[in-house]
Amino acid sequence: MNSILKSVNGFISSESAREYAKKEFNAILWIALITITALLLDKVFTLFRLWSKASKIPGPPCNSFFGHGNLGSRENFIDLLSESHDKYGSVFKLWLGPTQLLVSMKDPTLIKDMLSKAGDKLPCIGKAFRLAFGRSSLFFCSYDQAQKGRESLALELDDKMLGRANVIPKNVVDCIMEGVDASMSTGSVDCKLISQHMAFTILGTTLFGDTFLAWSKATFYEELLMMIAKDASFWASYRFTPFWKRGFWRYQSLCTELKCLTLDIVQQCGKNYKLFCHMDQNSHIGTAKVGIKAASGAPPSSGVEMQDNFFYQELGGDLIAREEPCGNIMGLMFHGCIATTSLIGSILERLVADAEIQDKIYSEIMKVKKGSVREDQDVEEMLLLLATIYESARLLPAGPLLQRCSLKDDLILKNGMLIPAGALLVVPAQLLQMDGSSWGSDASKFNPYRFLSKAGKGSDLVQDTSFTEEAADPIPCSFVLNDPNDDAAFLPFGSGMRTCVGQKFVIRGVATLFASLLERYEVRLRPQLGNDPKSTTNPEMVFVKRSR
C-alpha cells in the first residue's frame, strides 16, 4: 500500500515538475523571442533613423537596398568622387550598404570644420594596424582611447625633439650619406629604394637611438616592414579575418617575426643605454633612463614626467595590458616609414625635374651656412627648401583620402548640414590639393614659391620669375614662409583632432637631411633615361658629388 502511495506521489510530483519545467521553458522562449524582436526592432528603427537623417544629404539615387554596389578600383573610386562632386556639390553621400553611409567633402572650410569635430576613425581603419601589430593606443579608432598616446607622443616629438639643436643628429645624417655613397658605387640609385632607406634610418634612430645604426638586423627589419606594408590593407579588407587562408598565416608569421625583431632592438637599446643617451643630449633625460630600465629590469628613478614619457611607457611595456608590447612603436615605424618614403621620393623627383630650383636651394643652403655660427644645418632659415618640402607634400599626399567618423554623436557642420553618427567621412585630399579654385591655374605645377610671401603682406605671394636672375641670393630676407596649415586646402598631414602627430618633426627632419644631401651632392636623372622624370614612375637617379 505504502509503495503504491509512494509511486502515486512520485507520479504527481514528476508530473508537476514536468509541468513546471514546461512553463519555465515557455517563459524562456518568450523572453528570448521578445529580446530578439526588440533587438530587431531597434535595428530597423536605427536603420530608418539613419535613412531619414541621411536623406537631406545630396547624392546619386540608390535603387538597391544594398547600396550603390561595386564602386570599382581605388583610382576609379577617386574619379567617381570627383565626378560626383561636380554633379552634387561639395558634400554628397553614397550608400556602401544598407547601414554603411559614406559622405565625401570637397569644400575646404567645411572640411576643416568636420576634421575639428569628428575625432574617431572607422573600426575597419585600425584593423590593418591591429592585424599586423596587435592593439596599440595610438591607432585606436576611438579618439578617447587614442588621446593619451597622441598627447604623450606629441610631447616627446614637439617639445623635446624639436627643442634639441639637431632633430636628426649629425652622425645619423653622415650614416645616410655613407649609404648614398655606397649606392652610387653601382652607378645610379633607385629613387624609391633610396627614399625608403633614408626614411627608415630617420625613423629607426628616432625611436631606438644610435643603437639602431649598429644593429645587424636593421636591413632585414626594413625588408620585413615593407613586405608587411605591401599586404596589410589586403588582409584588413576581409570582413571576417580569413583564418582559413594559408597566405594569411604566412602574413601573420612575418608580423610575428617583426615583433621579435622589435623586442630585440629594444633589448639592444637597453644594453647600450649610453648610446641611447644621444636622444638626451640636452634635456631629454627620460629616454636615456628607459634604456637603464630596460637593461636592469628595475624601474628608473622617476619623476612624474617620466611616467608620462611615451617611449618610457612603450619600451617599458607599461601600457594597458590589453595592448601588444611595442604595438605603438611598430605602428609608428610602419606609418612613419611609408609616409616619409613617399615625401622624400616626391622631393627627389621634383628636384631632378627642376634643376633651377635645386640650384637655388643649394645657393640658399650655402648662404645660410656662411652667415651662421652653428655647426648643424639651420633649416629654419632655408625658406625655399622648406617651401619645396611643402609643395612636394601638396603634390603627392601620402594617401589619396583622409577618413574620419563620429562614432557616438551626430555631427552638425558649419552650414547646418547634419551627418549621422557612424557615417564614414572621406576627404579626397589629392583632389583638393590639386584643385584650381584653391591653388590657382597652376595647381598641378610644381611651384614652391606659392608658400612664400613678402613680409607684412600675407597674400602677396612670391612669383618665381622674380628670382630667376638671382641665383646667388635665392630668397631675400624680406620674404616669409607662410604656415601651410593656415590654408584649409593643404592636408597632406590631415588636420584637426586626429592630425598627424609627426608633422613638425618630419618637416624639420627631412629639411635637415636635404640640406646635408644637397650641400654635398647634385641630384640628376640618370643620363640615358633623358630629362623627363615623368618617363618612368620610379626614376633612376645619380648623385653627383659637388666640388667644394
Amino acid at 485: N
Please say whether the beta carbons of 435 and 442 come within 8 A.
no
Of the pair 108, 336, the CB lying nearest ligand HEM is at 336
The binding site consists of 500
Beta bridge partners of 540: 190
- Look at phi and psi of residue 411 and say left if phi exceeds 0, alpha if psi is from -120 to 50, else beta: beta
The nearer residue to ligand HEM, 193 or 529, going by C-beta atoms, is: 193
Q: Around 107, how many Cα atoms within 13 Å sit in the side-chain half-sphere?
A: 14
What residues does 404 pair with on adjacent strands? Answer: 425
| 3-state SS assignment for residue 442 | coil
Cβ 496 to ligand HEM shortest distance, Å: 6
The three-state secondary structure class of 523 is strand
Q: How far apart are CB 93 and ligand HEM at their closest, in Å? A: 20
Closer to ligand HEM by Cβ: residue 288 or 427: 427
Q: Which three cell numbers stand for residue 434?
A: 590639386
Under the phi-then-psi rule, with left for phi > 0, alpha for psi from -120 to 50, and beta for the rest, what region is 446? beta
CA distances to 230, 247, 249, 250 from 244, rounded to whole Å, are 20, 9, 9, 12
Q: How far is the CB of 500 from ligand HEM (least distance, A)?
A: 3
Q: Which residues bind ligand HEM (CB under 6 A)?
A: 115, 138-139, 146, 150, 153, 332, 335-336, 339-340, 343, 398, 402, 492-495, 498-502, 505-506
Alpha helices (H) along 126-245: 127-133, 143-154, 170-184, 191-208, 211-214, 218-236
User: Nearest residue by C-beta to ligand HEM?
Assistant: 494
Question: What is the smallest separation between the CB atom of 375 and ligand HEM, expressed in angstroms?
Answer: 25
CB of 488 to ligand HEM, least distance (A): 13
Phi then psi for residue 139, to 5 deg, are -105, 25
Residue with smaller CB distance to ligand HEM, 325 or 474: 325
Distance of CA 12 to the CA centre of its chain: 73
User: Where are the alpha helices (H) located in 465-534, listed in sequence order?
Assistant: 503-520
Name the residue nearer to ligand HEM (CB basis): 277 or 343: 343
- Who contacts 530 (Cβ-Cβ below 8 Å, separation ≥6)? none
Shortest Å distance, C-beta 371 to ligand HEM: 29
Output phi, psi for 121, to 5 deg: -115, 155
Could you tell me the smallest distance in angstroms from the CB atom of residue 142 to ligand HEM? 10
Residue with Cβ nearer ligand HEM (157 or 189): 157
Closest CA to 179 of 166, 163, 168, 195: 195
Q: Between residues 439 and 479, which has the closer beta carbon with respect to ligand HEM? A: 439
Binding residues for heme: 500
